[in-house]
Each structure stands twice: as C-alpha cells, then as structure tokens.
Chains A and B, each alone.
Chain A
Amino acid sequence: MPRIGTDEWVSEQELRTEYYTGLTAPARRAFDRVGPGPRFFAFLGICALFPFLTDSAFHIRIGVNVMLFALLALGLNIVVGWAGLLDLGYVAFYGFGAYMYAWVSSDQFDIHLPTELAIPLVVAASALLGLLLGLPSWRLVGDYLAITTLFFAQIFVELTLNLDRINLPWRDEPLNLTGGPNGIPGIDRMEIFGLQLSDVRDYYFLLLILLALIAVGLFYLNDSRTGRGWRASREDPLAAELMTTPVNRLKLLAFAMGAAIAGLTGSIFAAVQTGVFPQNFEVVLLIMIYAALILGGAGSISGAVLGAIVVASVPEILRTPENARWLFYGALVAVLVATVRPWRRLAVVAGAIVAFGFVVHGLVAWIWPAGVEGEPAGGTLGGLLDSWVILPVENQELLGNLAFVLLVAAALTLTQLRGDARTILLIPTIYLAAFVWETRLIEQPSVTRQLLFGAILVAMMTMRPQGLLGSPRVENPI
C-alpha cells in the first residue's frame, strides 16, 4: 500500500526498513555511504566519457536528447516538485525558447545575434513569459491552474501553426512570424567565445556543462531559504503565508526559473536541430517530461536526471526490433525479480513460465500448425523464442489485438489478487505479454512508447507515488 496519509515518522521508518532489506540492500547501503559530492562527480565522469566510447553520431544524438530531457525535467522539478504547482504549460516555455532563438539567429528576420548575446536574451525573455503565465497561480490552485496552463500550451501550438500570415496595417505583405506548419529552418550553429559548435559532440559537452552547473545550483537552492519557502508553500500555503513566507512571490519565482531553464534548453535544441517546428512542442513531449520527473521522483534532482535518462533512451532502444526485444524481456525479468519473493518462489515461477510456453507451443503446433509458423525476426533471442512463443502467420493482427485486451484485463486482475492466486495468474500473464509483444507491439515502437508511458504513470502513482529516488510525502487527508 502507498505510504500516504500516515504519520511522517512512520513513513520514514518504513522507508528505512524497505531500504535495508531485499536483494539489493547491500548495494544500496554501499551507495548510501558515498556522499552526494562524489556521486555527482562520478556521474559527470561517466557522462563525459560517453562520447569517447562510441563513434556513431546517432548514439551521441541520443546522449544530447537525454541531456535535453534532464534539463527540462530539472526545470519542471522546480515548479512541480518543489513549489507544487501543476504546470501543464511547461512545454510552451521550451517551445518559446526555441522559437525565440530562431528569431534572433536565422534568416527568418535576417538577424544573426552572437550566441553570447542570444542565449541570455532568450533566457530572460522566457523567464519574463514564465512570470506572466505564472500570474494565474495567484488566484487558481491545483487542477484549475493545471488546466489553465494546459490551455497556454495548446494556444502556443495553435499560434505557431497559424502565425505565418499576419496582416499588419503598416506592411504591404503579411508578416511571417513562425513559418506555420513548416517551422523555421536554417538556424545558426552556436559559437561561444570563438568556439564554433559544429558537431553534435560539441553540443553534448555544452549541455553536460550546463546540466552540471544547473544541478549544483539547484542542489544549493533546495536547501536555501527560497527552497524551504517553496516546500512550505507547497505543503500548506495558508500556514506558510502566516509564517510570513511570500507565497505569491515564490510561486512566480518558481514559474520564472522553470521557464528560464526550459527556454535555455529550447534554444540549444533549436541550434542542435538547426530548425524549429510546431510538432516538436506538442502535448506528447509534455507527458514525456512529466513521466521523467514522476518516474525519478518529483522533488529530487538526481531523480529527475535518472528519469530523463530512462525516458529519453528507452524509445531509442525500442527503435530497432532486436534491442527492443532484449529490453522487453529484460524488463519482464526485472518485474519478476522485483515482485516475486523469496528466491525459491521466483525460481518456481520462472521455471513454470518457461514450461508453460513450451506446453502452449506444443499444443498449438499439434492442433493448429499454422499458429506456430511465424518466426520472430532474427537474432539470438529470436532463435531462442521461436520454439517458446507461438506466432501465427495469418490473422496476426486480430489475434494480437484480442490478446492485448486480454492482457490488460489480466494485468488489472493481478492488481486485485494476493498470495498464491496472484503468482499463478502471473505465469499466463507474462506469456500473454510476450505474445502481444511479438505479434503487435514490436512493429509499432511509437505506440508502444505511448502505452508504456501511460501505464508507467498510472502504476507509479498507485504503487510508488514518490518515484524511484524521491522521498515519500505525507499529506493529511482533508
């Protein structure tokens, strides 16, 4: 059960006991002994080595994506994790930063500001916009604020799509502000203090430096007067106000800082991509940033970065079927290890799943030979799976769809069962998941990604609302 609504001491105690039991406890204890400083530098070191481990620009591009996501998640963490303001318009600041950078350094208006000037300008403008759009947070709380800011995000996308032919009275030809659906191409590469950033690798290092600086800044900010003020006004705005915390000013500050980081990230994104397009800033991205933050744990800096790594790299791994397959079966094993305890039971379940597969495969091959004729595409894992998972050659889509509906039903039933019944149902469910994966999901990475993120958000909220690295929050039911 989620540790919510319990006494703070109890929740901390439970966290501690959970922390020091289970298979991974020794590793966690060892990790705990290392302070935040060495951990941070170790992380930086690994990130700095990454570009030297690979030659492919594609891999470094993924690294850039991860960094962009990490920055975005850090910015969102200020607003959502610390100040507790549900800002669903966050992606608009990111987009605004990107478009703003495009305006001052492309042929759109024939302005080419030096990068040292353009970036501060973009950051300042984004912060100002954040301040403006944060104003509703004075009057609106909770869901109302969420929906109003979501509309800001929608309006931003609508504007970028439609502001390409503005008729102005003092101009003969219509003004093209955003390029409409075609966006703004041909954005300048950055050049910082004479250093030309031409390669993806250069941007990777730029982002890494920014991430390090911002993470350190936020680390100290979190423990400062301002950070405490944010947390206080998140937990109880009324009490905080009475204690002379300037709640409204802090809300605006959170919005402005989040927007500034998003704007900065946006400008780098624009420079990396050398173009900006409206579809880069849609709600899907917003959900992904939220997924990153929630997964890692809202309110935790390392959590936001970890979540970003997962959310930004998983879709890339899903792109090639062979990798996706490893990831999928690895995740299944991880789920088993995490949910089935102790070891002996786990061994029995794993054996039963393998046996179950072979039995089903044998039965289907006997009754309906066409049902097993499909071959999982290539690779070592594919070869291993061939005689385990059934894969029909005809009606694959229909059967896969039916199995998907069944799988959802089985997964939902699983959450309601306890003890042996749960373990027994787990066996066919895992097999069903493998079947759905091989028939339907593996060929549609983008749909799979959406399904996964949706499911992760729900599962995270119902099972571990504080995320992977967050600390549990206590909120008394009203």
Chain B
Amino acid sequence: MDFFVQQLVNGVTLGSVYALIALGYSMVYGILKLLNFAHGEVYMFGAFIGYFVLTALGGADSPMLPVAPLLILVFLAGMLGAGLLGVVIERFAYRPLRNAPRIAPLISAIGVSFFLQASALLLFSAQFRTYDTPQLIPFSTGIEWGPLRISLVRILVIGSAVFLMIALTLLVSRTRLGKAMRATSYDREAAAMMGVDVDRVIVATFLIGSVLAGAAGVMVGLVFERVFHFMGFVAGLKGFTAAVIGGIGNIPGAMLGGLVIGLAEAFTASYISSTFQNLIVFGILIVVMLVRPTGILGSPVLTKV
C-alpha cells in the first residue's frame, strides 16, 4: 500500500510536468493547427537556463540567496528564457509559413528541433548536469504521514504546476486575451475580421506555452536532477501524447492527459518493467488515436469543404 501511494505521488509529479508540456502543444495546435515539434527543445533550454542561473547564484551547495527567493529566480529565468525562445521560433520558423501547405511548417518544426538540439550539444557539450537539489532542500524535509513520506521538492513541483494551470485557466476564460485566443482558435479568419490582432494572439500563445515548458524544464531539473541536451525529445513526445490523449486544443484535456501518462509511466516502471515503460506509453497513444482520434475530452472535428 505504501509502495502504491509512493508510486502515485511519483506519477502525479511526472504527470504535472507532462501536463505543463502538453499545454504548450495543445494551445499552439489549437490556434495554428501546427504540431510544434520544437516544443520539447524549448523545455530543454528552460531546464538549462534554470541550471545556469542556479550555478551563477552560487550553486546548490553555497547559494547566495535564501532558498525561496533563489528558487523563484531560477523559475522566473527558466520561464522567461524559454518564453523568449518560443517567440523567436514562431517569428522566424513558423510565421513565414502561415499560409503554406500543411507539411511545410511541420518540416520546419522538425528542423528547428534538430537545430536547437545540436546547438545545445555545441554550447553545453554532451555531459549531464545536475541541479543537486538535495543540497538545497534536503530530501528528508517534507510531509510525513504514517509510513508515507512526500518530499518537499515534490510538493513544491506539484503545487507550482497546479498554480500555473489555474492561472492559465483563468487567463483563457476570464481575460480579453483569453477571449481573443479562444476566438482565434475557433476561426482565425473570422476572429481577424472581428478586430482580433491574430498575430499578437499567436505570439502570446507561443509565449505562454513556452513559459510553461520552461517551468516544466526547471521542475524536472529540481526533481529528477539530470539535465542534458537530448532530454527534450522524449519529453516532447510524451507531452504531445498527453495533449493528444486528452484531446488536442483542449486545456483541461492536456492536464488530464499529462496525469494519465505520468501515472501510466510510474506504475508500469514499478509494477511491470522499466524497459517497457516507453513502449506502454506509446501503445496507449496509438490505441487512443485509433479508437478516439480526437482524444478523451476532444470534440469531433467536422471537415469543412
């Protein structure tokens, strides 16, 4: 039972990270109908920026600031850096292709992803970096509840993920920008005719999606500690899987999908076999795609002629 609950916590931690990545995919897809392959690389850069800011501020063993403001700074830097990267990618790799055949932006996205990965390899080399979180927040601190222990880092990660998701939901449902985003995603042309500045909305979408990916990168750095140039590829695939399972373009769906993938992965690794962890995740995706191509919470798509 303890083991089960422990895996549940693992799954939820992993799931909240995937959910944050999935949100970026889902929002961009909702508005541009573009599969942003480079999103995983944005997340990777977020993790690296967080790492370098942490190192610049003295590293985990001799931080120059108290823990709370230090972490806030690391998060902010990772999020802002990733957000900026996302906006630049949109501006240079996707915007010139706004009216191109569907295949063109997709290939361009694959190119960006490849380029960013190689850039990271060139700039940061292939070595693994670590946030060294236990030095900062000892794993022993946390909630103890009977035999069950949840470390503070995990609580922090899950908490901030929930916070970001609530903020995003409020942004999309309550603000003018959110309304413009929903309108653009529903019908870009009609939205433009109603006076929505579509370009601005698209930039905002990329910014928000990439900020969330940057946050996810920092979180992964904090919990799993390893940061390297290839981390974006698989995480991006899983984030996309989460977005598709939940119903792409659908914000609560992305969160749900992230949780499903995270839990599936944690339980497969602990109860079945860790070698088949990825296989099972991909298998789930393929089954969902074939049975319900619009995802769990997605609505059926009508083909307009």
Given contacts A147-B285, A454-B118, A475-B102, 4 further A-B contacts (CB under 8 A): A148-B286, A454-B112, A462-B92, A478-B304
The verdict on A144 contacting chain B, using a C-beta distance below 8 Å, is: yes
Q: How far in angstroms is the closest Cβ of chain B from A324?
A: 15
**A465 CA / B106 CA spacing, docked (Å):** 12
The verdict on B51 contacting chain A, using a C-beta distance below 8 Å, is: no
Q: Mark B234-246, 1 if CB is under 8 A from A, else 0.
A: 0001001100100
Q: Mark B208-248, 1 if CB is under 8 A from A, else 0.
A: 00000000000000000000000001000100110010000
Residues of chain A contacted by B303 (CB below 8 angstroms):
238
Residues of chain B contacted by A451 (CB below 8 angstroms):
115, 118-119, 122
CB pair B96–A154 under 8 Å, yes or no, is no
CB pair A154–B289 under 8 Å, yes or no, is no
CB pair B108–A151 under 8 Å, yes or no, is no
CB pair B121–A287 under 8 Å, yes or no, is no
The verdict on B163 contacting chain A, using a C-beta distance below 8 Å, is: no
CB pair B118–A158 under 8 Å, yes or no, is no
**B96 interface neighbour in A2, A5, A152, A475, Cβ under 8 Å:** A2
Please report the total number of B residues contacting A with Cβ < 8 Å: 51
Q: How far in angstroms is the closest Cβ of chain B from A401?
A: 5
Q: How far in angstroms is the closest Cβ of chain B from A112?
A: 31
Among A134-142, A271-279, A333-341, the stretch in contact with B: A134-142
Q: How far in angstroms is the closest Cβ of chain B from A255?
A: 15
* 9 contacts across the A-B interface (CB closer than 8 A): A4-B99, A147-B289, A444-B122, A447-B118, A450-B117, A454-B115, A454-B116, A456-B111, A475-B102
Q: Mark B279-293, 1 if CB is under 8 A from A, else 0.
A: 100110110011001
**A151 interface neighbour in B99, B276, B282, B293, Cβ under 8 Å:** B282
Q: Mark B287-305, 1 if CB is under 8 A from A, else 0.
A: 0011001000000000111
The 8 nearest A-B residue pairs measured at CB? A457-B111, A454-B115, A454-B114, A450-B118, A458-B111, A461-B108, A143-B35, A451-B118
Q: How far in angstroms is the closest Cβ of chain B from A300?
A: 15
Report the interface size class on chain A.
35 or more
**A458 interface neighbour in B33, B34, B93, B279, Cβ under 8 Å:** B93
**A478 CA / B303 CA spacing, docked (Å):** 11
**A155 interface neighbour in B88, B100, B282, Cβ under 8 Å:** B282
Residues of chain A contacted by B286 (CB below 8 angstroms):
136, 148, 151-152
The verdict on B278 contacting chain A, using a C-beta distance below 8 Å, is: yes
From A151, A155, A287, A473, name the one whose CB has the most chain B CB atoms within 10 angstroms.
A151
Q: How far in angstroms is the closest Cβ of chain A from B261?
A: 13
Residues of chain B contacted by A152 (CB below 8 angstroms):
286
CB pair A465–B35 under 8 Å, yes or no, is no
Q: How far in angstroms is the closest Cβ of chain B from A225?
A: 24
Residues of chain B contacted by A331 (CB below 8 angstroms):
none
The verdict on B69 contacting chain A, using a C-beta distance below 8 Å, is: no
**B99 interface neighbour in A148, A462, A477, Cβ under 8 Å:** A477
Residues of chain A contacted by B102 (CB below 8 angstroms):
142-143, 475
The verdict on B105 contacting chain A, using a C-beta distance below 8 Å, is: yes
CB pair A455–B115 under 8 Å, yes or no, is yes
**A150 CA / B35 CA spacing, docked (Å):** 13
Instruction: Give me the interface of A with B, judged by CB distance under 8 Å.
Output: 2, 4-5, 80, 84, 86, 136, 139-140, 142-144, 146-148, 150-152, 154-155, 158-159, 161-162, 238, 283, 287, 290, 294, 298, 401, 404-405, 408, 412, 415, 440-441, 444, 447-448, 450-451, 453-458, 460-462, 465, 473, 475, 477-478
Q: Mark B151-169, 1 if CB is under 8 A from A, else 0.
A: 0000000000000000000
Residues of chain A contacted by B305 (CB below 8 angstroms):
238
Q: How far in angstroms is the closest Cβ of chain B from A244?
A: 18
The verdict on B65 contacting chain A, using a C-beta distance below 8 Å, is: no
Q: How far in angstroms is the closest Cβ of chain B from A339?
A: 16
CB-CB under 8 A for A2 and B100, given A412-B92, A451-B119, A461-B105: yes
Residues of chain A contacted by B278 (CB below 8 angstroms):
154, 158
Nearest chain B residue, comparing its CB with the CB of A238: B305
The verdict on B107 contacting chain A, using a C-beta distance below 8 Å, is: yes
CB pair A457–B35 under 8 Å, yes or no, is no
Nearest chain B residue, comparing its CB with the CB of A153: B282
**A129 CA / B101 CA spacing, docked (Å):** 29
CB pair A150–B237 under 8 Å, yes or no, is yes
Q: How far in angstroms is the closest Cβ of chain B from A457?
A: 3
Q: How far in angstroms is the closest Cβ of chain A from B39?
A: 12
Nearest chain A residue, comparing its CB with the CB of B101: A475
CB pair B240–A147 under 8 Å, yes or no, is yes
**A287 CA / B233 CA spacing, docked (Å):** 13
Residues of chain B contacted by A146 (CB below 8 angstroms):
35, 106
**A457 interface neighbour in B99, B110, B275, B289, Cβ under 8 Å:** B110
Residues of chain B contacted by A143 (CB below 8 angstroms):
29, 33-35, 102, 106
CB pair A154–B121 under 8 Å, yes or no, is no
The verdict on B113 contacting chain A, using a C-beta distance below 8 Å, is: yes
CB pair B293–A139 under 8 Å, yes or no, is yes
CB-CB under 8 A for A462 and B114, given A143-B106, A144-B293, A401-B123: no
Nearest chain B residue, comparing its CB with the CB of A84: B103
